[in-house]
Amino acid sequence: MDTRLGSAVSIKSLQFTGKAGEYFKIWIVNILLTIVTLGIYSAWAKVRTNRYFYGNTILDNAGFEYLANPVSILKGRLIATAFFIIYAVVGQFMPLAQIGFSLVLLLLLPWLVVQAMVFRTRNTSYRNIRFGFQRRFGQAAMVFIVLPILAGITLGLAYPYFQRRRHQFMMESASYGNTRFEFAASTGSFYTIYLAAVGVTLVSLVVVALVAAIAAGIAVALLGGEAALQQGANEQFGAIGAVMPMIFMPLIYLALFAFVKAKTTNLVWNELTLGPHGFTSELKFMKLFWLYISNTFAIILSLGLLVPWAKVRMARYRVEHIRVCVAGDLDGFIAAEQANVTSTAEGVSDVFDIDIGL
C-alpha cells in the first residue's frame, strides 16, 4: 500500500490479455503489406500494432485506446525521410552544409520531442478521456540540449542528473484529462541506481577475468604440464583472452541494461502520482535479464518468426507488474475528469498534428 496516499487506498493491478498467436497474424500482415507498398503501409502497421497492445492493456475492466490517424503518421515519416535524403545528398557535395543541417536538427530536437509526445498522448485515451502533454519548449531545450552537453563535459558524472530531469520533464508535462502527473523522485535516487550499475559492471568484469584465467590454466594443463607452460602457454592465454570478451561482454551489457531498466522503471512509477492516486512497479532485474536473453535467442533461432511472441511476453511482464494505488474511488475520479474535459472543450487538432516518429 502506498503510504503517500493515506489509509483508504485500494490496489488495482493492470492486466495484459494479448496472445502471441493473435498478434502474429497482425504482425505478418503488417510486414507483407509494408514490403509490397515500399514502406507506405508502415504507418497503418504502427496504428494496428498500437491498437492491439493498448486495447489489451486492461485497468479496472477497461482497456486503453490508440486513436491516431495513420495519415498523420505517414506525413511525419515523409517529412523525416525528405529531410534525411536532403541531408545525405547535400553532404556528398557540401560537407559544411551538412554540418549546418546537423546543427539545425539539434536545435529542433526539443520541438520534435515535445510534438512527438503531444501526438502520442493526445491519441491515447482511457474510458473516453484523452491524455495530454504540455508544450514546454524552453524546458525541453534545457533537458535535451544543455543537460546532455553537461553530462559529456563532466565525463558522465552528470548523467544521472540528466536522467532525473528527463523523466521529471516527461512525467510532469503529461496529464490525464485536466489532471497533471506529479513526479517526486530525488536526484540522489538516480545516482544510487547508476553507482550500483557501475558496481555490477566491475563485479562482472572480475568474474570474467577469473573465468578466463581458470580456463586458460586448464587448457595449459591439458597440453602437457610444464612443457606446455614453456611452449604454448602464451598462445593459450592469448586465444582465451580474445574469445572470452566476445562471449561474455554482450551478456554483461545485457545484464547492465536490464539492471538499470528495472531499477529506473520501478523508481519512476513508484514516485509518480496522478491527483490522489499513485502507482507501484515491481520489475525484477534477473527476470528482466532472463527475458532479454531468452527472447533474443528465440528470435535468432526462429529467423525472426518469434518476434510477436517475444513482444507479447515482454509486454505482459512489464504491464502486469504495475499497479495503481487508488485513493478513494476510481470511478468518481473518471466521472469528474469527463465533466471537466467536456466543460473546457479542448480541441485535439493541431496544425502540427503529425507523428514525428520518436
Domain end point (choices 239, 254, 269):
254
Q: Lowest-confidence range among 3-12, 180-189, 248-257, 281-290?
A: 3-12
Q: Do 192 and 246 have their domain in common?
A: yes
| In a domain? residue 151 | yes
CA distance 270 to 94: 50
- Return the amino acid letter for 276: P
The answer to whether residues 244 and 220 belong to one domain is yes
Whether residue 203 sits in one domain with residue 153? no
Q: Is residue 223 part of a domain?
A: yes
Instruction: Identify whether 21 is part of a domain.
Output: no
Q: What is the pLDDT of residues 29-57, one digit of tens each?
A: 999 999 999 999 999 999 999 999 999 99
Residue 158 confidence (pLDDT): 95
Which grid cell sits at 175?
A: 496529464
What is the structure's pLDDT at 73?
87
Taking residues 123-136, what's their average pLDDT?
92
Phi-psi domain of 81 (left: phi exceeds 0; alpha: psi -120 through 50; beta: other): alpha
Identify whether residues 194 and 165 lie together within a single domain. no
C-alpha cell at 82: 525528405
- Provide the number of structural domains found in the chain: 2
The verdict on residue 14 lying in a domain is no
Same domain, 200 and 227: yes
Confidence of residue 219 (pLDDT cuts 50, 70, 90): low
pLDDT band for 245, please (50, 70, 90 cuts).
low
* 226 domain-assigned: yes
In a domain, residue 54? The reply is: no
Q: 238: pLDDT confidence band, cut at 50, 70 and 90?
A: low
Does residue 358 lie within any of the structural domains?
A: no
Q: How far apart are the first and last CA of the chain?
A: 35
pTM, whole model, 2 decimals? 0.83
H helix intervals, the chain: 20-36, 42-55, 70-93, 95-122, 137-141, 147-153, 159-172, 187-222, 226-231, 233-270, 285-301, 307-319, 330-344
| pLDDT at residue 229 greater than cutoff 80 | no
Residue 162 and residue 193 share a domain: no
- The boundaries of the domain holding residue 249 are 187-254
Q: Which of 215, 230, 254 is where one domain is finished?
A: 254
Letter string b/e over residues 330-354, b meaning 16 or more CB atoms within 10 A of that residue's CB: beebbeebeeebeeeeeeeeeeebb
Phi and psi at 306, nearest 5°, equal -95, 15
On whether both 220 and 245 belong to a single domain, the answer is yes
Q: ∠ at Cα 57 (55, 60), nearest 5°?
A: 105
On whether residue 314 sits in a domain, the answer given is no
Cα separation, 163 vs 169, in Å, equals 10
SS3 284: coil
Report the C-alpha gap between 151 and 159 in whole angstroms.
Answer: 5
CA torsion, ordered 97, 98, 99, 100, to nearest 10 deg: 50
**pLDDT, tens digit, 9 for 90 and up, residues 286-337:** 999 999 999 999 999 999 999 999 999 999 999 999 999 998 778 777 877 7
What's the CA gap between 228 and 213, in Å, rounded?
16
